[in-house]
Each structure stands twice: as structure tokens, then as C-alpha cells.
Chains A and B, each alone.
Chain A
Amino acid sequence: MDSALAVLNAAPLWLVVTIKSALLLLVVVTTFAYAMLAERKVMGWMQLRPGPNRVGPWGLMQPASDAAKLILKEDLTPSTADPLIYKLAPFISLLTAFSVYAIIPFGAGSQGTWAIGNVDAGILFLMAISSLGVYGISLGGWASGSKYPLLGSVRATAQMISYELAMSLSFIGVLILAGTTSLDGIVSAQARLWFCIPQAVGFVIYVITAVAETNRTPFDLVEAETELVGGFHTEYSGLRFGSFFIAEYVNMLTVSCIATLLFLGGWNAPFGLTMVPGVLWFVAKVATFMFFYIWLRATLPRLRYDRLMAFGWKVLLPVATLNLIVTAVVVAVRG
């Protein structure tokens, strides 16, 4: 390991960063593939059935066979669609989902051993990139030239922008406590106490809005297969559908990483268990959060659309604002 690091230090920086970027993307896509398998397995167990178990031992080759099938499927463009935007939409979704990882640090080390870029405006970059993801979904549904996708995408846009508001407000409590927007700085500010304890309300709001932002159950009104067939990606087939699918799961992973960095102490070890490396703690926390997502999907029914919008605007927004004022009062009084 040390000799490998020495070789890395001798190489030009741009080469090292390019290799690291490619490796990180590979890890992210592989994680997506096995997160999908894990979801099907865990859902199976929760519903008392075995889940995928035919392809390879324990179903472990399932993601590879799914990928091969998606790549070889026919790529259909409906005659009513706008061909350019129809093809652009999954590309936008995928690119924004991948781009967020440019600044996420996975472990300690200021020289960027475990991160691509360590920028000071970390949270702002994160919000800026992740909020672009809505374009992929709204353009995809609109450009399909078909009714169900259009309804799905308009719903999705309204839902995502409504919940993004409460999400950006839930970060502010963390910023007040940490006093910095750099993700590295926020994690080191949690060395003694994770922010999910003093910011419990903010954490709950973040979890709810995060599930809504990634369009997962119980907020999956975007797909709502009982009323909208397949939602915004009804007309998509093959790898273009796959792109939306990858983007959804990569976004879930991103959300889990942000929850870990901002509220769950990042790579800080709990109970002083520092003999386990920080990166492993980070991975463990992210995996727990991902499991929580799957658990939710197996447990909760879908919300009604009017209740979803009312909940976002009438409950989450005022509660998030109150939470940030209370945090500010405590900081102003105690210093």
C-alpha cells in the first residue's frame, strides 16, 4: 500500500486525478449495480420470498446480466417525440448524478487522498449540481410527446422543487453549528458530537426531503405505476431507460453520502472505535442509510399528491425555518 502511494506521488498530478476519477466512477457504478441487487434481495426477504437467486451463486451475477440485456435492447424513439431533447434528457440526469462525486470526501486527509476536489464552497457546489437533476426528468417527460410521461414529469418537477426548499433550509442548522461550508470542515466539527443529535429536527427534515428528492417510495408519485404507467420514462427503452435508472440509484447513494457527511459524523468513529479506518465507518454509515431507503420502500404506501404538496409547503417549510431560528438563538446565547 505504501509503495503504491509512493508511485502515485511521483506521477504528475493531472494523471493521478484522472485515474482516481475513473476509479471513483467505476466504484459508483458498481455500487449502483449491487445496490439494485441488494434492494431486490432485501425486498424479497421482507416479503418472505428468496429474491433473485438464479443468475450465478446467490444471484450475484444478476446486475451483469441486466446490464447486458439493457445494452442490447432496441433503442426506440416515439414518432411524436422531440428527438434531440429526448436523447439529451437521460444524459443530463446521468451527468448530474455522476458530477456530485467531484467534491465528496470519503475519508480524512487534507491532501485529497480520499476525495477528488476539496473545495471550500462544498455545500453550495453540492446544491447547485444536484438541483440540476430535475432538468433531466422534466425534459425527458416533455420531449417524449406522450401523455403519461408529460403528467409524470410535471408532477416530478413540482414535487422536487417544493421539497428542495425544505432541504436547503435543513442544511442551515448544520452550517450555523459548523461555521463553514467545506464538507471536510463540517466533518471535523463533528469530532465530538454528531450533528444528528443537536440538529435532530434538521436531520428528520433532511431524511424526508431526501427521499422525496430522489423520487422514492413513499414519494414516488413520479412513477406511480398504478396511475401513470411508468411515469416520465414510459417511452424510454434500453440503455436510455437504464440511464434514468442508474441516475436514480446514484442519487440515492449521493443522498446517503450527504446525510453521512452532514449529520452522521462522516468518517468519525462512534464510541471511540478508532482502530477501524475512517473510510470503513463512512461506508458502513452510507450502507445503513441505503438499507433504510429499502426498508421504507417495503413498509410505506404511496402518498396522495395533494397531501404531498401540502406537507412540503405547510409543514416542512415552517418547521425547517423554526429549526434554524432556534439553532441561531442557542448559538447566539451560548456562543
Chain B
Amino acid sequence: MNPYGPVAIYLCVALAAALLFTFLPGLLGRKKPNPHKMEAYECGVEPTSAVAGRFPIRFYLVAMLFVIFDVEAASFYPWAVQMHSLRVFGLVEMVVFVIVLAIGYAFVWKKGGFQWR
């Protein structure tokens, strides 16, 4: 059997279990609706303003930096597995790669991209 066969079977069982946890509360839980219960929680008072307002741009910046550096991390994986046969050639290649990344990293640091205000 292909090694991914059992994985697929397990994922189906896990899916069934997760579905059970999702539909059980609707079936078994008590139901006594009341408009005050359905309000969003805001320290006991009625919600004052809309939820989605202005949002710090920092969070988007972090997401973009993550995409850039995570792709880099992913490109390390095949290299790392082959390191025993690549030896010095692989090392030199990777050091050059890391230096190029380090320039970008230093630029982001200098521009205050990692500074949380």
C-alpha cells in the first residue's frame, strides 16, 4: 500500500471526529434564546461602535515579511537533506544565499520594520 493510503484513511477518521464535535452542540445543547444573550460581549454594556474600524498596518507588514522569509526557510529544506553529499560546494552556495537575504533583513531592520510601536 502506498504510504499515503493510511494517511488518507486517518484523515477521514479525523474529519468524522471533528464533524461530530461540530454538530453535537446543536443537537444536545439546551436552547433558550434571548436578545441580550445574542449581543456581542463588551463588558456588560451594549456594543458602542462597529467592529471593523481602522487597524494598525503593522499586522499586514508582519504577514508580508513572513511570506518572504518563510519561502526562504522552505528553500533551505532540500539543501539541508543533501548537505552530506554537497559538502563545501553546498556550504558556499548557501552562505552566498544567506548573505543576500541578510542584506534585505538589515534593510528591513534599519527601516524599522521589526519595531513594534
Binding site for B on A (CB under 8 A): 13-14, 17-18, 21-22, 24-25, 29, 71-81, 87, 90-91, 94-95, 98-99, 101-103, 112, 116-120, 123-125, 144-148, 150, 154, 157-158, 161-162, 164-165, 168-169, 172, 175-176, 179-181, 229, 234-235, 238-240, 242-243, 246, 305-306, 309-310, 313-314, 317-318, 321, 324-325, 328-329, 331-332, 335
Partner pick for A74 among B14, B15, B24, B30, CB 8 A cutoff: B30
The A contact surface, by secondary structure, is helix
Partner pick for B7 among A14, A78, A102, A147, CB 8 A cutoff: A102
CA distance A122 to B80 in the complex (A): 15
Nearest A residue to B117 via CB reads A306
Give the interface size class of chain B. Answer: 35 or more
A165 touches B73 (CB 8 A): yes
Q: Mark B60-96, 1 if CB is under 8 A from A, else 0.
A: 0011011001100110110011111011101100110
B1 touches A13 (CB 8 A): yes
Nearest A residue to B87 via CB reads A332
With contacts A229-B41, A306-B117 taken as known, whether A102 is within 8 angstroms of B84 at the C-beta atoms is no
B40 touches A24 (CB 8 A): no
With contacts A21-B13, A117-B4 taken as known, whether A162 is within 8 angstroms of B66 at the C-beta atoms is yes
CA distance A335 to B87 in the complex (A): 7
Q: What are the residues of chain A within 8 A of B115 when measuring CB–CB?
A: 310
Q: What are the residues of chain A within 8 A of B30 when measuring CB–CB?
A: 72-74
Q: What are the residues of chain B within 8 A of A175 when measuring CB–CB?
A: 77, 80-81, 83
B116 touches A306 (CB 8 A): yes
Q: How far is the CB of B105 from chain A (nearest CB, A)?
A: 8
Nearest B residue to A144 via CB reads B40
